Amino acid sequence: MADQIPLYPVRNVAAAAANRKRAAYYSAAGPGPGADWHSRYQLEDESAHLDEMPLMMSEEGFENEESDYHTLPRARIMQRKRGLEWFVCDGWKFLCTSCCDWLINICQRKKELKARTVWLGCPEKCEEKHPKNSIKNQKYNVFTFIPGVLYEQFKFFLNLYFLIISCSQFVPALKIGYLYTYWAPLGFVLAVTMMREAIDEFRRFQRDKEVNSQLYSKLTVRGKVQVKSSDIQVGDLIIVEKVDEFLIYFRPIFTSYTLAARCLLVQHGSCFIRTDQLDGETDWKLKVAVSCTQRLPALGDLFSISAYVYAQKPQLDIHSFEGTFTREDSDPPIHESLSIENTLWASTIVASGTVIGVVIYTGKETRSVMNTSNPKNKVGLLDLELNRLTKALFLALVALSVVMVTLQGFVGPWYRNLFRFLLLFSYIIPISLRVNLDMGKAVYGWMMMRDENIPGTVVRTSTIPEELGRLVYLLTDKTGTLTQNEMVFKRLHLGTVSYGADTMDEIQSHVRDSYAQMHSQAGGNNAGSTPPRKAQSSAPKVRKSVSSRIHEAVKAIVLCHNVTPVYESRAGVSGETEFAEADQDFSDENRTYQASSPDEVALVQWTESVGLTLVSRDLTSMQLKTPGGQVLSFCILQLFPFTSESKRMGIIVRDESTAEITFYMKGADVAMSTIVQYNDWLEEECGNMAREGLRTLVVAKKSLTEEQYQDFESRYTQAKLSMHDRTLKVAAVIESLEREMELLCLTGVEDQLQADVRPTLEMLRNAGIKVWMLTGDKLETATCVAQSSRLVPRTQDTHIFRRVTSRGEAHLELNAFRRKHDCALVISGDSLEVCLKYYEHEFMELACQCPAVVCCRCSPTQKACIVTLLQQHTGRRTCAIGDGGNDVSMIQAADCGIGIEGKEGRQASLAADFSITQFRHVGRLLMVHGRNSYKRSAALGQFVMHRGLIISTMQAVFSSVFYFASVPLYQGFLMVGYATVYTMFPVFSLVLDQDVKPEMAMLYPELYKDLTKGRSLSFKTFLIWVLISIYQGGILMYGALVLFESEFVHVVAISFTALVLTELLMVALTIRTWHWLMVVAEFLSLGCYVSSLAFLNEYFGIGRVSFGAFLDFTFITTVTFLWKVSAITVVSCLPLYVLKYLRRKLSPPSYCKLTS
């Protein structure tokens, strides 16, 4: 890989100066992380040549300031692109777009986002004006609809050319034929397009109106009032009930009970929300209200206090929030820190409880809107290629017209003759090309939706089916796309003994015996009046036994989590959950578990299966039920949730029966290996489980005295109130506890994959498609799924990109990655952002050479950004596939978007170009339908152009014979009929053609690689069709003139008959697999032509004498006429048949080798 990447080496003359600058840069970094990275690589890099040093390490890079550094790679690309060729091809469009963007930015200046102070229930106190809380997805309004649609149509050269040609027929001097021959096809295309756009626009308007009119309960001094979502303002107090999706971003300050049927009992100021439409995670998340407002006796008291929220400025990150809650009218003032646990996001759903929150962000400043990109109008690569070919045909048209005028000698009004020749030869660019392709795309979409092998497939964008056959990069989500998001506990390892699925009954026996023994000991101690804490003093003496170790491990697993048991109302209770906490039915039938991670649910479900059950939990306590039926109570003192930086979570609990305080922690092995006491088995067993595709967690504990905990609590509370570097200060306090912890066990959980994910990914890999996994999940989880799904094969090396925060760290880590060869890349969203800021071009070059890339902790905006960068840096076609609302931006940014209807709703499915029900359907969608769509459209487009070229060649020969006169050879209905009833059905039947059977295409995905090279439609194939058209057009016209010299008056009928027969034979020559409808189309077209001869005699004349009856039925039924027409047709087609046969024998294409 390293040998193929241009690194812009430093000139030897400047090597010494560059070395000095590099040394100064790293010495200035000081003792920070950059210095540590430098020392780590120092021994390795000192001996390396400067050309092999970190990327972009040139004088140019060091002379620029850090703020300007990220512009260097893009500047180099632009310098290479600039020139006359760039301006002629795309430069003018780029300059026009830049000017328009500049004008738009002048008219719509974006205001700077700032932190804000929001007073409870007082929107009028807001110092700044905030955006309206409304949604608008419409592309046009009443005034811009017609101009906008016309612009989208006529920005393509093909349609603009047809418009100019049609308008020219209003000038009498330039009129060639009838107006309907030009305006009818163009009007048909415009009418269908505008009708389709109008329907789509009206549907968008209705959806926006429905969402903006959704009613919410607003709390005021006078009580509850109903307001539309578009009327909600920052500072309002909003009441959100269970299963209400809210379109604002607010802070919960009060939570009450909800007594609806089948609703959860929510206590102590907490609630659950579902965020599947925001971050793709289907599990419920626990949200906590501000404790200060929980002590208020009534809702109306919220308006009697003086309190405000200080919130950070709106930002993209959906995983973090920093703010403070302050109540001024208390003595002393109350200050509480606010984090992401105290917030409810827009585009999420309250799953339990009733929430009263103060609105912080609205409209465009909410996280969901800021992470959503505007959809673009997608144009297929095949359409762009055909547009380029039509430009080449236009140049040929102009050149031919100039040649004809030149040979004419520029006599008379030559400019008028030049324009008439342009009109005569205008069929070089066939007006039916757009109509045929659009109808073909509709047929391809219908075939996809009718395919029984991929049921439930829906084509939502019918203009780009050929893109499915040109893909090089497939970017996929993880949760719900590759996996079912259902975890199963598989393995428990205690160091000396390991338990799998077939030995779980042993663990159940040990747990039952352990608690039975403890119960009997507790009964004996109580009888002897022994204090409870004495009973535990002998525990360390028996801890070496397997039974005791299993008991401690299971107890730690059932206590160290963020899981809440949920009890649904019984069938006999109608309308309300009437039982209180004291007499709740803790039966297994009514209990389900909810947590922010399915891993934790799987662990708690496993502890229930072995006898130790979590039966109740709130913010301050937890209750467990032993195998004997006893209930153990624990007080939750502190909870440290999982973060991507720490890679672990912890909890401090107090056993209410013994008053013992224990700190439990679980996390990834890379984070826990330095925290637990020395052992010699952890690293090896973690590697063994990872190779099995299991997600591993290390569990440990530490006992604390009351004094130790009180000291920790005071320092922890002070760190949480800090507004500067809060995260670092809190982490430092927690790390003071994480020393010499006792290692209890290692767990292994398996994430169930979707059906046939592994063979589908292998098929895509064999087809030459590179698969990138972009997920918002944790790095460890993403890595495990990538390995278990075989996205990264077992024999493949994996490079986990270290976390970088500065240019220096990214610099050195990229250099280390550059030395790796043929390895998969795993990188987090934070590190990716830093690399793209300074080393965009170099990073993309390295990543594109990896067989697979995994990006974890990606926001929706980052997913769309990666798709855009792939398109810019590779020029290849990309496809994005996902199933959640967080995948919509990625799906819309890709050249082809595929949505999966799954557990996370239909938002991705509705926003995608193609909708499927399972990931495995992607294989057939690309290998079969993508292949057929591209191959058929390429053949159809080139044949339609051939049909126009051959008649233009005949017109050129005819004009040459008649002394370069601008007289039409065929006019009126003959021209319309030639492009429609006489040849349309056979030509359009090419949409049924296929080169290989679907089973063969699925069995040999390597055939797909040829499609990405674009060989079915290229300048080479186009040139071949041009030569065929010139040859056949010349033969038909000269043959008619030579063989029918004595009957010259019938030359129109003769040549036109041979032309129709030639086209029918050429369709037969092009077809690779016959369908019965193709045969019907051939004979139907021939029958239409023969039957039309009876009433078309007036059109078979020449020039101004065309109104005589020149079609002699006696003449065309003679044997002489028939054999001469047949001879002309055979001479024009037989050589092509011979050449096709020889090519198949001597140089057959790859699919021919398989079919034979």
The span from the CA of 1124 to the CA of 1101, in Å, is 20
CA 733 to mean position of chain CA atoms: 39
Cis omega (within 30 of 0) for bond into 860: no
The span from the CA of 318 to the CA of 367, in Å, is 6
Under DSSP, the state recorded for 429 is S
Residue 337 bridge partners (DSSP): 324
CA end-to-end span of the chain, whole Å? 39
Furthest-apart CA atoms within the chain: distance in Å: 134
CB-side neighbour CA atoms (13 Å) of 1060: 29
DSSP letter string, 726-742:
HHHHHHHHHHTT-SSBE
Letter string b/e over residues 272-302, b meaning 16 or more CB atoms within 10 A of that residue's CB: bbbbbbbbbbbbbbbbbbbebbeeeeebeeb
Determine contact, residues 879/916, Cβ cutoff 8 Å.
Answer: no
CA distance to 239, 250, 492, 883, 1018, per residue, from 302 (Å): 13, 16, 50, 40, 71
Planar angle of CA 829, 114, 239, nearest 5 degrees: 85
- Strand blocks (E) in 673-822: 695-704, 742-753, 770-774, 797-800
Residue 846, token pair as written in the block: 């390295």
Query: Residue 777: what residue type?
Result: D
Residue ranges of alpha helices (H) inside 572-705 are 598-609, 669-672, 682-691
Determine contact, residues 695/601, Cβ cutoff 8 Å.
Answer: no
- Residue 489: strand, helix, or coil: strand
Give which of 1105, 830, 1128, 1022 is closest to 391, Cα–Cα: 1022
Under DSSP, the state recorded for 47 is T
Determine contact, residues 769/1005, Cβ cutoff 8 Å.
Answer: no
Give which of 8, 10, 29, 9 is closest to 808, Cα–Cα: 29
Determine contact, residues 692/748, Cβ cutoff 8 Å.
Answer: yes
Give, for 257, the enclosing helix (H) or strand (E): none
Give which of 932, 1000, 868, 914 is closest to 473, Cα–Cα: 868
Active-site option among 383, 477, 599, 751: 477
Residue 357, token pair as written in the block: 């929150």
CA 625 to mean position of chain CA atoms: 45
The span from the CA of 150 to the CA of 147, in Å, is 5
- Residue 311: strand, helix, or coil: strand
The span from the CA of 1070 to the CA of 622, in Å, is 75
The span from the CA of 1123 to the CA of 463, in Å, is 45
Give which of 1059, 1069, 1067, 1066 is closest to 1125, Cα–Cα: 1059
Determine contact, residues 476/878, Cβ cutoff 8 Å.
Answer: no
Residue ranges of alpha helices (H) inside 895-970 are 907-911, 921-924, 931-961
477 in catalytic set:
yes
CB-side neighbour CA atoms (13 Å) of 258: 27
Give which of 613, 603, 497, 604 is closest to 547, Cα–Cα: 497
Give which of 858, 1023, 1149 is closest to 396, Cα–Cα: 1023
Planar angle of CA 207, 377, 445, nearest 5 degrees: 80
Catalytic residues: 477
